[in-house]
Structure 1
């Protein structure tokens, strides 16, 4: 076997850790097809299958895991050694967040921040994937969860409620059905591994359906399915409120349920002395506090299990 170029191995490490060709290609300034070709070239050189390719990304084979374990730490060492020589821009901030929280909550508020701080260059990464702060040039993230991310600073922003939401067209078609009795409505199974409909019926009474009209695998797909009139979804109020205010979604029965997850600002220790991060952090907490004053917030000790 001829010597494997280090560039191929480095790209392999990036793809393996991100589990996503599109994100790895973006970081490497390559097209997805070019990066995919490189990974196949590496497999051919090693005569080993390193990835299983699927519609939701790539996963490592046993051979791929072994290779990552062998070479990954060496690239980490190189990256760590070079990091001290890179220029750090304190007027530029890169934030990662899910498409839902960016479009519905963060984006409408950002113009005020950038107007007050025109010196700040703000870069948004819209993704549902968790950031690997050791590998990616990201300063902070807004994450949805329980606030437990090892090795990272995690600061509570605001809680979340869920409620059954549907398109007005579906509500009109189901005009003869009681919105407080969802047993006769078409329900969309949510992507949470602990189906929230079970929590909903346990709290408000009734039995979850034996069959859902559809199941989806992401929160964004769930919201889109409800918008298209496919059925009733349990929508997160933080990301659904703008659609409700615009009349594109309707809350059925005006009943809400707090959930144990909340929104957090998450960042690595290296971001603590970043001036742009300090400006953004102060602004974000002020905006979160104002949002909490305007909206009823679930207490963290009352959230549904």
Structure 2
């Protein structure tokens, strides 16, 4: 309890407490070789903000309290974590490396706690999904998995680019691209076919009869696939020169922009089936292209024997085979 109370209170007893603790630090067993959580939280906030003042605001503490916590942590570690220059602080090289590890560890503790509170009697699975794939493909099917595995609670967040599993509280992710992800294993789920789609009004206005007719059309681009139109034109054996147009960072925004008549978008039709059925989106040209990349389920090597993930892998591979067979 005294360690936790280090967050506030009279500074003199705090100083005496740490003076007594530091010499004994090296005598601690590995199980006990842990700084108090309050110090780690203060360090994490200060590292993210590169400012003790901003960290103090986040933690609802005084700047001097945060400074004392950082100094106490440095004494425990036997190394400086920040360079202090007048009113500025900057992480040392060692401090930067330590910050990455601590941020991931705190995130995992937080996620584990939230997962336990959500499902104290069962297991949990934390997934990172591509937003459009998660919204349009996985979510409508997920009730089937949960019905078959009522003891598993699924938590979902979105990611659009690969990340380091070591610094995230993620058990698995859905990835589109090549079958490579450092420090992870992959199951190939399915391929993807894209087609140039737009609103009926824009198609009528463009009157495109061949791929080259789209060179001057307003083209919509997805940030995570910046060369998609160049690859499509190459597949059509057309040299478009410089390809311009509106740039958007989410597939859902691209689809909505196309539906609103803002341009022509290369979209995977299996993710916009509702818009195609309703007629809100139509093919600007009957020229679909099979992508070289695929969708993958990705998980870290550390999760090779994680029962909730094993169950999810079996289920999603079955669902992917159904999709590929349509």
State the TM-score, normalizing by the size of structure 2: 0.65
1:267 aligned partner: 299
- The one of 18, 24, 41 aligned to 1:7: 41
- Unmatched tracts of structure 1, length 5 or more: 17-32, 51-62, 295-305
Q: 2:220, 2:254 within 8 Å by CA — same for their partners in 1?
A: yes
- The one of 193, 215, 228 aligned to 1:196: 228
- The one of 282, 286, 290 aligned to 2:318: 286
Q: 1:198 to 1:279 in 2, by over 3 A?
A: same
Q: What number of residue pairs does the alignment pair up?
A: 260
Regions of 4+ moved over 6 Å: 41-46, 76-79, 85-89
**Greater relative contact order (Cα 8 A, min sep 6): structure 1 or 2?**
1
The 2-side partners of 1:48 and 1:195 are apart by: 45
Q: 1:195 to 1:130 in 2, by over 3 A?
A: closer
Q: 1:167, 1:226 within 8 Å by CA — same for their partners in 2?
A: yes
Query: Does residue 1:178 correspond to 2:209, yes or no?
Result: yes
Q: 1:179, 1:252 within 8 Å by CA — same for their partners in 2?
A: no
The 1-side partners of 2:221 and 2:139 are apart by: 28
Query: Which has the larger Rg?
Result: 2
Q: 1:69 to 1:164 in 2, by over 3 A?
A: same
The 2-side partners of 1:153 and 1:267 are apart by: 6
What do the CA deviations read for 1:87-140 (whole angstroms, capped 9, x no partner)?
898621111101111111101111111122222211111232544322322211
Range that drifts further, 131-140 or 258-267: 131-140
The 2-side partners of 1:269 and 1:109 are apart by: 26
Structure 1 position 259, deviation (Å): 2.2
State the TM-score, normalizing by the size of structure 1: 0.69
Structure 1 position 74, deviation (Å): 6.3
The 1-side partners of 2:104 and 2:235 are apart by: 51
Structure 1 position 141, deviation (Å): 0.9
2:96 aligned partner: 69
Q: 1:209 to 1:11 in 2, by over 3 A?
A: same
The 1-side partners of 2:196 and 2:86 are apart by: 52
2:170 aligned partner: 138
Q: 1:15 to 1:152 in 2, by over 3 A?
A: farther
The 1-side partners of 2:172 and 2:145 are apart by: 16
Report the RMSD for the aligned CA atoms in angstroms.
4.0
What do the CA deviations read for 1:247-288 (whole angstroms, capped 9, x no partner)?
332122221112222111111123222221111111000000
Q: Which has the higher helix share?
A: 2
- The one of 240, 263, 271 aligned to 1:239: 271
Residues 82-101 of structure 1 aligned to structure 2 (within 5 Å):
91-101=123-133
The 1-side partners of 2:62 and 2:275 are apart by: 42
Structure 1 position 10, deviation (Å): 1.9
Any idea what SS the aligned residue of 2:150 has?
coil
The 2-side partners of 1:105 and 1:250 are apart by: 20
What do the CA deviations read for 1:1-49 (whole angstroms, capped 9, x no partner)?
x999542322355689xxxxxxxxxxxxxxxx947x999x889976576
Query: Does residue 1:115 correspond to 2:147, yes or no?
Result: yes
The 2-side partners of 1:93 and 1:38 are apart by: 38
The 1-side partners of 2:264 and 2:43 are apart by: 47
Any idea what SS the aligned residue of 2:166 has?
coil
